[in-house]
Amino acid sequence: MDSTLLAQLTALGPFALLLLMGVAFAETGLLAGFLLPGDTLMVGAGLLVATGGLRLPLSLSLLAVTLAAMAGDQLAYVLGRHLGHRLLDRPGSRLFTARRVDEARAFVERHGPRAVILARFVPVVRTLTPVMAGIGLMGRRRFMVYNTIGAAGWAVAMLGGGYWFGAIPIVANHLDVIMVTALLVSLAPAVVALVRRHGATRTVDSERLPLVEPGALGSPVHAG
């Protein structure tokens, strides 16, 4: 996110809240979390509210974003319940790759119901976790409870955190630097996962190489 996007948010005025709600909903409800910078957008909006760039009531904004995020997760859960296997088993899908699906399934199985809360703060896993829960890894009532907690916690941490952070004078005077830093921080988990995966792939490939003992191929044949 740069100064241009911050300016666009400011230009939207009160309608910026509709954009925030749309992104919070779409990240999971429309299965678009791989494409949208939800975390940085929320932090940036919080900063703008704190500095007066956006004239939005903080309490109303937190409630609206929470409800939108909850609705998105709930829709993803329903999709998982009724279309889950058809969504996840499509060969050649760029969004639901086998690796992403396996990671999301392992995440839910490892953390149980808490996965719905924790996934809110992991950009890629956040999109697939409610789908996996809907397939059969979690009951409807339990999912609704943890979905509510996760959505509220995420809204407070991102939008509210940006607001309280923006109340610091030095932050308010260096919004561009802060937003670039926030973007880098939000991308860090994906970068770390990519590096780990690349290292694991190299390890597997090296283990597959045939081991040749010294002298196993015989000594060189000399002509003459």
Q: Which residue has the higher pLDDT, 1 or 185?
A: 185
In a domain, 147, yes or no: yes
The string of pLDDT tens digits covering residues 187-205 is: 555 555 556 655 655 554 4
The string of pLDDT tens digits covering residues 108-124 is: 888 888 899 999 988 77
1, 86 Cβ separation under 8 angstroms:
no
Q: Which residue has the higher pLDDT, 84 or 150?
A: 150
- Residues contacting residue 100 through CB under 8 Å, at least 6 positions apart: 124, 128
pLDDT of residue 145: 95
In a domain, 129, yes or no: yes
Amino acid at 201: T
Distance CA 125, CA 118 (A): 9
pLDDT of residue 183: 55
In a domain, 135, yes or no: yes
Share of the chain above pLDDT 70, in %: 68
In a domain, 160, yes or no: yes
The string of pLDDT tens digits covering residues 142-174 is: 999 999 999 999 999 999 988 887 777 665 555
Residue by residue, DSSP assigns 82-151 as HHHHHHHT-TT-SSS-HHHHHHHHHHHHHHTTHHHHHGGGSHHHHHHHHHHIIIIIS-HHHHHHHHHHHH
In a domain, 216, yes or no: no
pLDDT of residue 44: 84
Distance CA 41, CA 50 (A): 14
In a domain, 217, yes or no: no
| Structural domain span for residue 13 | 3-206
Assigned token pair, 167: 């109340």
Inform me whether the pLDDT recorded for 128 exceeds 70.
yes
Distance CA 102, CA 93 (A): 14
Q: Over the chain, what is the mean pLDDT?
A: 77
In a domain, 15, yes or no: yes
pLDDT of residue 173: 57
In a domain, 218, yes or no: no
pLDDT of residue 154: 95
Distance CA 131, CA 115 (A): 12
Inform me whether the pLDDT recorded for 207 exceeds 60.
no
How many domains, in total, are found in the chain?
1
Inform me whether the pLDDT recorded for 1 exceeds 50.
no
Q: Which residue has the higher pLDDT, 26 or 51?
A: 26
14, 50 Cβ separation under 8 angstroms:
no
